[in-house]
Amino acid sequence: MSSPPSFPPPAVCTPAQLLATRDAFDSVAADYDGPRGNNALIQEMRREMWRWMDLTFAPGSRLLDLGCGTGLDAVRMARVGHRVIATDWSDQMVRRTTERAAQEQLTPRVAALVAGAHELHRLEGERTYDGAYSNLGPLNCVPDLEAMSRELFRLLKPGGSLVFTVIGRVCPWEIAHYLGRRKWARLRIRYARGFVPVGMNNHTVWTHYYAPREFYRAFKHDFALTHFRGLCLFAPPPYISWVHDRHPRWHERLWRLDRALAAWPVFRGLGDHFLIVMRRRR
């Protein structure tokens, strides 16, 4: 994702923009679990997400994956004993998830469904799921998070949990990266108020960046905030790979700092992404 936005940005995401985002992800689905969507640095973020999901969800949970992509998380969660309904707005991504689940003989435990996170009203049931998760930014593309929160309240059992990683606003590594290159427009993109166009594979992903508390506002009526922390605050974000490539030991140390310190006040509002855990109110 790289092209600068046009300012001022629109506050809402229109149906045409949602379709543009879907086309963008359809166009990269074939190779998204290669370097573009799952390089070594992204795999570290994924491991951190798995650690938090393992801490949060009880064994044998029934889970919803929002924006499952190629199904890497859904298949992993099924492998450790959960049952997952994996959903995504892109039918090409859902196809990849279905294929992966079949290849790994996990089809009974992973069911993949074309459904945007803004379309949860299409999912039947009340108090059906033990939890829901979303990894690496699908929720940055959802037009109305409050409406989504209401649907999740309907779908989750009382006490059910949400674990999300969301693209944040203030990423110190990114600030240094673009300041050094004097890319002012790119530097400002995360601070836009509404949805901004972000280029990917000659398509556009309409993206809303959030600070953690700004994001939580949409959920606070239905869900209590349990934990939030920066993700890739000390460790560099996935598109800044030189530390990992040239100084692997430093890279490991920076990840250790992330795990130890990124939940501290002030730090927890920073980072390429943030990780947030919430619990359904009764």
Ligand X SMILES: C[S@@+](CC[C@H](N)C(=O)[O-])C[C@H]1O[C@@H](n2cnc3c(N)ncnc32)[C@H](O)[C@@H]1O
Q: State how far the Cα of 102 lies from the Cα of 75, in Å rounded to an integer.
A: 10
Q: State how far the Cα of 32 lies from the Cα of 116, in Å rounded to an integer.
A: 18
Interacting residues with ligand X between 81 and 100 (CB under 6 A): 88-90, 93
Q: Mark 63-73 as b/e (b = at least 16 C-beta within 10 Å).
A: bbbbbbbbbbb
Name which position in 68, 86, 231, 232 contacts ligand X (CB under 6 A).
68
131 makes contact with ligand X (CB under 6 A): no
196 makes contact with ligand X (CB under 6 A): no
- Point out the residue whose Cβ comes nearest to ligand X: 69
53 makes contact with ligand X (CB under 6 A): no
Compose the 104-123 pattern: x for residues touching ligand X by CB under 6 A, - for all others.
------------xxx-----
Task: Please name the residue that has the structure tokens 């650690």.
Answer: 51
Number of residues that bind ligand X (CB under 6 A): 22
CA angle 118, 191, 136 (to 5 degrees): 45
Cβ contact 84:65 at 8 Å:
yes
67 makes contact with ligand X (CB under 6 A): yes
Identify which of residues 206 and 224 has a Cβ nearer to ligand X in the complex. 206
Interacting residues with ligand X between 24 and 43 (CB under 6 A): 25, 37
152 makes contact with ligand X (CB under 6 A): no
Name which position in 53, 86, 101, 142 contacts ligand X (CB under 6 A).
142
Cβ 248 to ligand X shortest distance, Å: 23
135 makes contact with ligand X (CB under 6 A): yes
Identify which of residues 41 and 72 has a Cβ nearer to ligand X in the complex. 72
Our measurement of the distance from residue 168's CA atom to the centroid of its chain's CA atoms, rounded to an integer in Å, reads 10
By the 10 Å C-beta count (0-12 exposed, 13-18 middle, 19+ buried), 184 is classed as exposed
Closest residue by Cα to residue 52 from 142, 151, 150, 131: 131
Identify which of residues 25 and 210 has a Cβ nearer to ligand X in the complex. 25
Residue 159 parent element (H or E) = strand 156-167
230 makes contact with ligand X (CB under 6 A): no
3-state secondary structure (DSSP) of residue 72: helix
141 makes contact with ligand X (CB under 6 A): yes
Sorted by sequence, the CB contacts under 8 Å of residue 232 that are 6+ apart come out as 41, 45, 171, 173, 238, 258, 271, 272, 273
75 makes contact with ligand X (CB under 6 A): no
Cβ 246 to ligand X shortest distance, Å: 26
What single string gives the DSSP state of each residue in 161-183?
Answer: EEEEEEEBS--HHHHHHHHHTT-
204 makes contact with ligand X (CB under 6 A): no
Cβ 3 to ligand X shortest distance, Å: 16
Q: State how far the Cα of 199 lies from the Cα of 24, in Å rounded to an integer.
A: 9
How many Cα atoms occupy the beta-carbon half-sphere of 38 within 13 Å? 16
138 makes contact with ligand X (CB under 6 A): yes
Name which position in 63, 136, 145, 189 contacts ligand X (CB under 6 A).
136
Identify which of residues 104 and 253 has a Cβ nearer to ligand X in the complex. 104
Positions that interact with ligand X (CB under 6 A):
21, 25, 37, 66-69, 72-73, 88-90, 93, 116-118, 135-138, 141-142
